A and B are shown apart, each in its own frame.
Chain A
Amino acid sequence: MNSLATGWLSPAEWEVLILSLKVSGVAIVAALPASFALAWMLARWRFPGKVLVDALVHLPLVLPPVVTGWLLLIAFSPNAPLGGFLERTFGVTFLFRWTGAALAAAVMALPLMVRAMRLSLEAVDRRLESAARTLGAGPWRTFATVTLPLSANGILAALVLGLARSVGEFGATITFASNIPGETQTLPLAIYSALQMPGSDIQVARLAGLSVLLSVGALVLSEWLARRSGQEKGRHVV
């Protein structure tokens, strides 16, 4: 840990860190609109098959991650209809690519994000929305000025939960995207690989320390954000 305290990382460690941040960042940005749409559907709509949608959303939470990774493999391999379609139309491939690691991380983070957002949307007082309508606001303005600010804390919580989940993602990633240094080897996968090599205790400790720093940093950031938005709301409360 001494060499870590000086703040210098080896090029390989930098690579792992940057890749981890890229993979989880892209995963969360991609999962955010999808999970919000799902949370909205589950919180606000009544439709046949809602129970099924709810169950599907929660599947990555209850399945062994290896199984989720295998299902992704089946769905997104270039030979599969979905994977083939994506490759032909958008030129996007997932197998053995960092995009695959991001997809796996997004899928694993989705249920947690949907749950947090759904709870906060359900907590919004709909009578306030109808008040906004009588004051002349259309549905979109009502959403932007009433629903969204009143559920902002839940959305923030969803982001932090999702980020923590995706940074730590291991099982589905290694199954689906494999463990390729510089392409799909995120922090947990790098730790796992280092553990396989004899005499790499220091390497493991450094990577684990990095992982701890990253998590604590995310936690502090979310606390700070939550406190700041709390202060904003209580600005004039005596």
Chain B
Amino acid sequence: MSSDAPAFEIAVTLKRGRLRLAYDFTAGPGLTALFGPSGAGKTSLLDAVAGLARPAQGRIAVSGTVLYDRAARIDLKPERRRCGYVFQDLRLFPHHTVRDNLRYGWKLAEAQQRSLGWDHTLDLLGIAPLLDRMPATLSGGEAQRVAIGRALLSGPAFLLMDEPLASVDAARRGEILGLIERIRSDLKLPILYVSHDRAEVERLADRIIPIPAP
């Protein structure tokens, strides 16, 4: 991993049904927004970066680490990619408390990968009072903050955020937006951020990659 490598180097073709979606961009540090209408394949791209979906061809590198390169036969498993993925549908483990959800990735990360402390993350997100709750009892905003916390605590090298405001009601949007701004400026993690909301993207993003409808 070299420090002067671009944060994201992505040149892939994804197959989704009969569609072939091609993406080709390089992005520096900070928050890169993938902006486009629903159904344009933005989530498919995040899944490919996370290793949850295999591209038809191409290459994906983050901060100089090659995650996928079809020509070189490199395809890191999801658990080796060190991505903090905040899913649009959150995917909190329903059978675990908030504490155990947060500890899941924390336990698996090596000590030097944990760039953020446990207490610091809980403070930043304001989720310390929720630790003993079950995910089903959380409000949309609370669940969203726990999902962000779980991703941050897993010792990620970069963040993938898929419509993190989707499950938050309008009154709580400002709060989550502010949080994401703090994560962007306080942590030195590159972020790939998916949204279909222009105002949101213009407020948060260091650069915007338009994703047209297929």
Tell me the A residues contacting B by CB distance below 8 Å: 125, 127-128, 130-138, 141, 145-146, 149-150, 233-238
Contacts and interface: CB of A to CB of B under 8 A. Distances in A.
A149 B79 CA distance: 20
A133 B84 CA distance: 11
Which range contains the number of B residues in contact with the other chain? 20 to 34
Interface of B: prevailing SS: loop
B127 to A, nearest CB: 15
Given A131-B91, A134-B52, A238-B137, 19 more contacts: A125-B91, A127-B89, A130-B91, A131-B93, A132-B93, A134-B50, A134-B81, A134-B84, A134-B85, A135-B150, A135-B154, A136-B105, A137-B108, A138-B79, A146-B93, A236-B97, A236-B133, A237-B134, A237-B137
Contacts of A234: 134
B104 A145 contact: yes
10 contacts: A127-B87, A130-B50, A130-B52, A130-B91, A133-B78, A137-B104, A141-B108, A150-B94, A235-B97, A236-B133
B95 interface: yes
Contacts of B50: 130, 134
A62 B141 CA distance: 52
Q: Which of A131, A132, A135, A235 has the most CB of B within 10 A?
A: A135
A236 B134 contact: yes
Nearest to B99: A236
Interface of B: 50-52, 77-79, 81-85, 87, 89, 91, 93-95, 97, 104-105, 108-109, 132-134, 136-137, 150-151, 154-155
A82 to B, nearest CB: 39
Contacts of A131: 85, 87, 91, 93
A135 B134 contact: no
B137 A136 contact: no
A127 B105 CA distance: 16
